[in-house]
Amino acid sequence: MSNEIKHHLTDDLLMAYSAGTLPEAFDLMVATHLSLCDHCRARAESFDAVGGCVLQEQDAYVSMSDSSLAATMALIAQGAPALKDARPSCSILPAPLQDYVGGDVNAIKWKPVGMGVKQAILPTTNEATARLLFIPAGAAVPDHSHNGIELTMVLQGAFSDELDHFARGDVEIADQDVHHTPTADVSSDCICLAVTDAPLKFSKLMPRLFQPFLRI
């Protein structure tokens, strides 16, 4: 299922995801990509193995209270939380994104941001921003660069910029040195998940007016 993904996450991001030190918006990006990409899932799970070793090999031993096992059995007796279906589905949004949207693409509450482009900001902690972007077939997101890091992953359709071509599952990682104009392929509308840890810098005056609306 992930054979065609060409643009993957970095070791730094995967290790930080495994260690649990990323802002929530970045966790959402990683979890969404791993749902589509077994290559990165295997890399992430090997970083989890490091965490397992660290957990096992701690130098300070802390004992549990005498009643802790009984208390845990009582917790267990309260019943299991509901579990999600693990079978692969035909949805456009992978399971972790559906948890934030409340359904598949039809449930996304788009807000127009001009020139046919729409977005939906997802509810995460404010250290970083996660949003879904809708770019009409053949349209472009305004030319911009970044103060921090911006990750963009394709969920439907594809886009190209000055650097490369990105299709479903591919992640573009852009930092302050990247100055790009992502343009959707003409064949279909493009839906992306975009995560940023700092506001974007737009190059032209016009799009700058959109920035408060875009919240990017």
CB distance 191 to 134 below 8 Å: yes
Distance between CA 119 and CA 194 in Å, rounded? Answer: 10
- Minimal distance, residue 212 CB to other proteins, in Å: 25
User: Which of 81-89, 136-144, 159-167, 205-213 is the region at the interface with other proteins (rule: CB under 8 A)?
Assistant: 81-89
Pick the closer one to other proteins by CB: 62 or 205. Answer: 62
CB distance 34 to 41 below 8 Å: yes
Distance between CA 155 and CA 170 in Å, rounded? Answer: 8
CB distance 135 to 159 below 8 Å: yes
Distance between CA 60 and CA 62 in Å, rounded? Answer: 6
- Minimal distance, residue 148 CB to other proteins, in Å: 12
| Window 11-30: residues binding other proteins (CB under 8 A) | 11-13, 15-16, 18-22, 24, 27-28, 30
Pick the closer one to other proteins by CB: 46 or 176. Answer: 46
Tokens of 119: 């977005």
Distance between CA 117 and CA 110 in Å, rounded? Answer: 10
Tokens of 165: 């071509």
Quick check: 205 binds other proteins (CB under 8 A)?
no
Quick check: 31 binds other proteins (CB under 8 A)?
yes
CA angle 140, 145, 151 (to 5 degrees): 80
Quick check: 71 binds other proteins (CB under 8 A)?
yes
Quick check: 212 binds other proteins (CB under 8 A)?
no
Quick check: 39 binds other proteins (CB under 8 A)?
yes
Interaction mask 89-108, other proteins, x per CB under 8 A: -----xxx--xx--------
CA angle 26, 29, 34 (to 5 degrees): 125
Judged by CB under 8 A, the number of residues near other proteins is 67
Residue 144 half-sphere exposure toward CB, CA atoms < 13 A: 26
Pick the closer one to other proteins by CB: 106 or 126. Answer: 126
Among 108, 113, 124, 184, binds other proteins (CB under 8 A): 124
For other proteins, the binding residues (CB under 8 A) are 1, 11-13, 15-16, 18-22, 24, 27-28, 30-32, 34-35, 38-39, 41-65, 68-69, 71-73, 75-76, 80-81, 83-84, 86-88, 94-96, 99-100, 124-125
